[in-house]
Chains A and B, each alone.
Chain A
Amino acid sequence: MASILAAGTVAPNFTLRVTPDQNLTLSDLRGRPVILAFYPADWSPVCGDQMTLYNEVLAEFRKHDAELLGISVDGAWCHAAFARHRHLHFPLLSDFEPKGEVARKYRAYRGSEGVAERALFVLDRHGTIAWSYCSPIAVNPGADGILDALEKLPDQASSHGHLESTDHAK
């Protein structure tokens, strides 16, 4: 298995296509925790695939003010169709041209198959990797590791002016 970028490393910045006509730049999210979920491909043929699961857990991620980004080498139109079909409420980024360039920067690219690893990164509010995990490609890693990592982040939400009292409300 590849040794992906480890905790303590500054997360390499990138700009990727998020819809057929819009880009997203990682550094624009500075100030909030970011979850990067690299995965091999859209359209896994099961109900409980990784992106569908994360879609259901979004509310838990957002309690930590975290932004979730899914990243694969699929094209923007493919992502759009996949997101619509699964009712995904978070961005899918296209690491499409040059293919897999961002996945390579995170050492999460499988050259033999031409797809991203199933690799997870939790970035703190300053853009440093706080936790990373590479799952065997056929195993959906679930969301428990991400939630554990988010809970361990130093909580600086108040210094950014959004003290969220909604955390405990239903």
Chain B
Amino acid sequence: MATLKVPITRNDHIRGPINAPITLVEYGDYECPHCALAYPIVNQVQSFFRERMRFVFRHFPLTEIHPHAEIAAESAEFAGAAGRFWDMHDALFENQSSLSITTIFLIAAELGLPETALRHALETGQYRDKVRSDFAGGVRSGVNGTPTFFINGVRHDGPYDYASLVAGIQMRAAADTRT
């Protein structure tokens, strides 16, 4: 049974109540089509569980097959430093079909993020270590592709359509309250 080796900390991007009894972690890649398919499903799952669940997104860019994945991840971190991580996250997945440097800068402009600062952050690799650290932690936790989900710290090995994710979460949550 593969388990999450890196605990959730303040450095993580968390959507939902910090003390929620259910934690869903996704290791994902903004250029991965399977992650884009999972994106609206995760939103639905979050709507279903409401305040009982927090969602954590960590970067797992497959840079050799997805040329924009690393830049997209670093841009999301840049937005995160300005408190706009989830806005950037949503926009990257919603515009994946046209993902490019231009698209990323357009999104940043719409969010009111300064272009020169973004350019500087990408050129100097300001957020590269954060993205690498997410990736390395994912590898050690048994992430074997994208998206990989962990429910309360345990890797979800089933499919990630809406019904399967909800069922997986309910089963794990029930098991966790029994012990």
In contact, B135 and A56 (Cβ under 8 angstroms): yes
In contact, B65 and A142 (Cβ under 8 angstroms): no
* Contact partners of B140 in chain A: CB under 8 A: 144, 147
* Contact partners of A47 in chain B: CB under 8 A: 29, 32-34, 62, 65-66, 145-146
Q: How far is the CA of A37 from the CA of B144 in the complex (A)?
A: 14
A19 within 8 A of B: no
Q: Which of A48, A140, A147, A170 contacts B62 (CB 8 A)?
A: A48
Shortest distance between the CB of B132 and any CB in chain A (Å): 8
A87 within 8 A of B: yes
* Contact partners of B145 in chain A: CB under 8 A: 46-49, 52-53, 140
Chain B, 111-134, CB within 8 A of any chain A CB: 129
* Contact partners of B163 in chain A: CB under 8 A: none
In contact, A140 and B65 (Cβ under 8 angstroms): no
In contact, A56 and B141 (Cβ under 8 angstroms): no
A132 within 8 A of B: no
Q: How far is the CA of A17 from the CA of B133 in the complex (A)?
A: 36
Interface size on B, residues (CB 8 A): 23
Q: State which size class the interface on A falls in.
A: 20 to 34
In contact, B139 and A60 (Cβ under 8 angstroms): yes
In contact, A52 and B139 (Cβ under 8 angstroms): no
In contact, A52 and B33 (Cβ under 8 angstroms): no
Q: How far is the CA of A50 from the CA of B145 in the complex (A)?
A: 8
Q: How far is the CA of A81 from the CA of B145 in the complex (A)?
A: 21
Shortest distance between the CB of A46 and any CB in chain B (Å): 6
Given known A46-B145, A47-B145, A53-B145, contact A144–B2 (CB-CB < 8 A) = yes
In contact, A140 and B64 (Cβ under 8 angstroms): no
Q: How far is the CA of A155 from the CA of B65 in the complex (A)?
A: 33
Q: How far is the CA of A56 from the CA of B66 in the complex (A)?
A: 11
In contact, A144 and B142 (Cβ under 8 angstroms): yes
In contact, B64 and A55 (Cβ under 8 angstroms): yes
Shortest distance between the CB of A135 and any CB in chain B (Å): 9
A29 within 8 A of B: no
Chain B, 1-56, CB within 8 A of any chain A CB: 2, 29, 32-34
In contact, A52 and B64 (Cβ under 8 angstroms): yes
Q: Which residue of B lies closest to A87 (CB)?
A: B64
B143 within 8 A of A: yes
* Contact partners of A49 in chain B: CB under 8 A: 145
Given known A52-B65, A53-B144, A142-B144, contact A170–B129 (CB-CB < 8 A) = yes
* Contact partners of A140 in chain B: CB under 8 A: 144-145
B136 within 8 A of A: yes
* Contact partners of A50 in chain B: CB under 8 A: 144
B residues within 8 Å of A by Cβ? Answer: 2, 29, 32-34, 62-66, 129, 135-136, 139-146, 148, 157
What are 22 pairs between A and B in contact, CB < 8 Å? A47-B29, A47-B32, A47-B65, A48-B145, A48-B146, A48-B148, A49-B145, A52-B62, A52-B64, A56-B63, A86-B64, A86-B65, A87-B64, A139-B157, A140-B144, A140-B145, A142-B2, A143-B139, A144-B2, A144-B140, A144-B141, A147-B140
- Starting from the known contacts A48-B34, A60-B136, A144-B2, 7 additional A-B residue pairs (CB-CB under 8 Å) come to A48-B148, A55-B64, A56-B63, A56-B64, A140-B144, A140-B145, A147-B139
